[in-house]
A and B are shown apart, each in its own frame.
Chain A
């Protein structure tokens, strides 16, 4: 008490000093964050132009010759990864959107369990999931004779497990703020349940659907753990191909592939941004 009375000037000065400190702290955090995010990216681009067989620092010179080497070494893996990602996106939208709509719109028994099950795969370590799926597919193969392991179909099915949670999650979120009355209005105007979904619910979910497709694509395209068990000669995804390559070589080609992958996904984001404002989608 007596201190407060004795030092009015200090009381005035304190908020200003703490405000300055706070601002410094915030900017330091922002700068640290940016460094953590961008340094690896910049470094990867930098490494990809080293004219070295082994990555050594500082390099003796620079070259762009690693880039033309991507296609012969990783071309087929990139194609497989793209096919896989597109298949996983299509499949998870087909299954995940109806699930998301059902979860947010209807009441049914065991809704909580269904919701948890659909989101659970995100909580299981990828490698454990990969092993489990591999064993499961082998069992199916033995029982039916369908060649699932080492096939694109097998890969797509396994990736659905990790892409679906994103789709379900985002479609539930996308409907959270949607006015249910719009659906009732459509019904009162003569639209049956399916037409209500097609004409009103899905259009309202457009940003969520695009975000879901995006997340599913990136999740699938970058996945290593599941694919590790399911690839076969000729059916190898890009992350697995990179890993295999790294076992024998540590040269800038890997950095060049990484840059190519960044450009691919970055380009995809730019294209999408033309159709929807991504800032609004991933709120």
Chain B
């Protein structure tokens, strides 16, 4: 496929954006390799779209630098940057046909007519819209408009492709398909791409690496498994996948702010204020008083969700946790009625403890880790 001329690499160096006193993006450093797909992930207002708009040239950076293939593009206006952008609203030109939309960038580059015709046809074939060339955007479905937007952005052989919340206007059923298609186009074309999204499953599905942002700051950069298994902050732990977060004080044991005692699975070189993060699927429900009990709890709700059995439990300190087990199969978790007294267990590798400054606490010594067998015996 002749999508990219030569994929470019991108470097962000100390990139910041201030609006008056408000710092929207603070000191972002990022290296994107040629052909890599990076997803900027975070809640709204975290600065991800602002970062994208600075790269595209729609916003001027307050400080820092943006380099494409090692050359600063800060001085270039958007129309000289050769960066393709797919907008959240698609931003198709409503008065132009699909083919004219795709051709727009080629006309701006004064491409010869026959070459442009061929390029437009190639792009429409690539996004499977061969028969739609003469339609107007308003006569297309959301998914088709999305494809036109992608074809239009890629037609110009961009050095970099930016996608701003590309799935947010699509039906849930279509998102997965579209995410996969974009990923395939990007991989086969060897395109360097940056995607902005607030949807973590979309992010996980599309990224080579993810950047989790919050309040204008990068919280963590890494591959899916890095972020999921070794979250750098409680925020990442709760934003990627799901985590129960418990704030409290760490001494010999961990005492939650509500006063619940928790026997941690490992010992940590930290004390004082701390945060415990544990994923719902890592917690097992056991009989009260069992040897491996980490905390006592009362079942509040039990919901069967098909593949998953979900319990809401309340610690003695009043904090509520979500526990998920298999809903069916040989490992299916046992159901516990509301009001039942239970014990919660988990293994040391499932436990994340963060110190006062939200950095991961270092493990001093792990207690004997429970085996899978022992686990299952509790569940039955």
Answer yes or no: do A and B interact. yes
Complex: how many Å from CA A61 to CA B105?
70
A191 with B79, Cβ < 8 A, contacts A185-B85, A186-B104 known: yes
Interface string of A174-199 (1 = CB under 8 A from B): 00000101101111111110010001
Check if A188 sits within 8 Å of B93, measured CB to CB.
Answer: no
Q: Hey, which chain B residues are within 8 Å of A200, CB to CB?
A: 93
Chain A interface bracket (under 10, 10 to 19, 20 to 34, 35 or more): 10 to 19
Is residue B42 contacting chain A, with contact meaning CB distance below 8 A?
Answer: no
Interface string of B61-81 (1 = CB under 8 A from A): 000000000000000011111
Instruction: Specify which of A184, A195, A204 is in contact with B58 (CB 8 Å cutoff).
Output: A184
Taking the closest CB of chain B, its distance from the CB of A30, in whole angstroms, is: 34
Is residue B156 contacting chain A, with contact meaning CB distance below 8 A?
Answer: yes
Instruction: Specify which of A184, A190, A192, A195 is in contact with B87 (CB 8 Å cutoff).
Output: A184
Is residue B283 contacting chain A, with contact meaning CB distance below 8 A?
Answer: no
Taking the closest CB of chain B, its distance from the CB of A92, in whole angstroms, is: 24
Taking the closest CB of chain A, its distance from the CB of B101, in whole angstroms, is: 9
Q: CB within 8 Å of B: which of A176-234?
A: 179, 181-182, 184-192, 195, 199-200, 203-204, 206
Closest-by-CB residue of B relative to A178 is: B94
Is residue B333 contacting chain A, with contact meaning CB distance below 8 A?
Answer: no
Complex: how many Å from CA A7 to CA B80?
78
Check if B77 sits within 8 Å of A182, measured CB to CB.
Answer: no
Check if A184 sits within 8 Å of B79, measured CB to CB.
Answer: no
Q: Hey, which chain A residues are within 8 Å of B156, CB to CB?
A: 189-190
Check if A187 sits within 8 Å of B95, measured CB to CB.
Answer: no
Q: Hey, which chain B residues are within 8 Å of A204, CB to CB?
A: 94-95
Closest-by-CB residue of B relative to A182 is: B91
Q: Hey, which chain A residues are within 8 Å of B93, CB to CB?
A: 182, 185-186, 199-200, 203
Complex: how many Å from CA A195 to CA B80?
13
Instruction: Specify which of A179, A182, A187 is in contact with B79 (CB 8 Å cutoff).
Output: A187
Interface string of B208-232 (1 = CB under 8 A from A): 0000000000000000000000000
Q: Hey, which chain B residues are within 8 Å of A206, CB to CB?
A: 95
Q: Hey, which chain A residues are within 8 Å of B291, CB to CB?
A: none
Complex: how many Å from CA A89 to CA B105?
34
Is residue B92 contacting chain A, with contact meaning CB distance below 8 A?
Answer: yes
Q: Hey, which chain B residues are within 8 Å of A190, CB to CB?
A: 79-80, 82, 105, 108-109, 156
Q: Hey, which chain A residues are within 8 Å of B109, CB to CB?
A: 190
Q: Hey, which chain A residues are within 8 Å of B81, CB to CB?
A: 188
Check if B78 sits within 8 Å of A188, measured CB to CB.
Answer: yes
Q: Hey, which chain A residues are within 8 Å of B153, CB to CB?
A: 188-189
Is residue B152 contacting chain A, with contact meaning CB distance below 8 A?
Answer: yes
Taking the closest CB of chain B, its distance from the CB of A88, in whole angstroms, is: 27
Check if A182 sits within 8 Å of B78, measured CB to CB.
Answer: no
Check if A179 sits within 8 Å of B108, measured CB to CB.
Answer: no
Complex: how many Å from CA A132 to CA B307?
81
Q: Hey, which chain A residues are within 8 Å of B238, CB to CB?
A: none
Q: SS class of chain A's interface: helix, strand, loop or mixed? A: helix
Closest-by-CB residue of A relative to B162 is: A188
Is residue B83 contacting chain A, with contact meaning CB distance below 8 A?
Answer: yes
Q: Hey, which chain B residues are within 8 Å of A195, CB to CB?
A: 108
Complex: how many Å from CA A191 to CA B78?
9
Check if B108 sits within 8 Å of A189, measured CB to CB.
Answer: yes
Q: Hey, which chain A residues are within 8 Å of B82, CB to CB?
A: 190
Check if B58 sits within 8 Å of A189, measured CB to CB.
Answer: no
Complex: how many Å from CA A181 to CA B105?
15
Instruction: Specify which of B57, B95, B105 is in contact with A189 (CB 8 Å cutoff).
Output: B105
Complex: how many Å from CA A203 to CA B96?
10
Q: Hey, which chain A residues are within 8 Å of B91, CB to CB?
A: 179, 181-182, 184-185
Taking the closest CB of chain A, its distance from the CB of B104, in whole angstroms, is: 5
Taking the closest CB of chain A, its distance from the CB of B195, in whole angstroms, is: 16
Check if A189 sits within 8 Å of B87, measured CB to CB.
Answer: no
Complex: how many Å from CA A179 to CA B87?
11
Check if B89 sits within 8 Å of A179, measured CB to CB.
Answer: yes
Complex: how many Å from CA A283 to CA B8?
48
Interface string of B239-266 (1 = CB under 8 A from A): 0000000000000000000000000000
Instruction: Specify which of B85, B104, B105 is in contact with A184 (CB 8 Å cutoff).
Output: B85
Complex: how many Å from CA A188 to CA B81?
7
Complex: how many Å from CA A181 to CA B149?
12
Chain A to chain B: the 3 pairs with minimum beta-carbon distance, closest first: A190-B108, A189-B105, A181-B91
> Which residues does A use to contact B, with CB under 8 Å?
179, 181-182, 184-192, 195, 199-200, 203-204, 206
Could you pull out 18 A-B pairs where Cβ atoms are within 8 angstroms? A179-B89, A179-B91, A181-B89, A182-B93, A184-B58, A184-B91, A185-B87, A185-B91, A185-B93, A187-B78, A188-B79, A189-B153, A191-B104, A199-B104, A203-B93, A203-B95, A204-B94, A206-B95
> Which residues does B use to contact A, with CB under 8 Å?
56-58, 77-85, 87-89, 91-95, 104-105, 108-109, 149, 152-153, 156
Given contacts A181-B88, A188-B83, A192-B79, 9 further A-B contacts (CB under 8 A): A181-B87, A181-B91, A182-B91, A182-B93, A184-B85, A187-B78, A189-B104, A199-B93, A203-B95
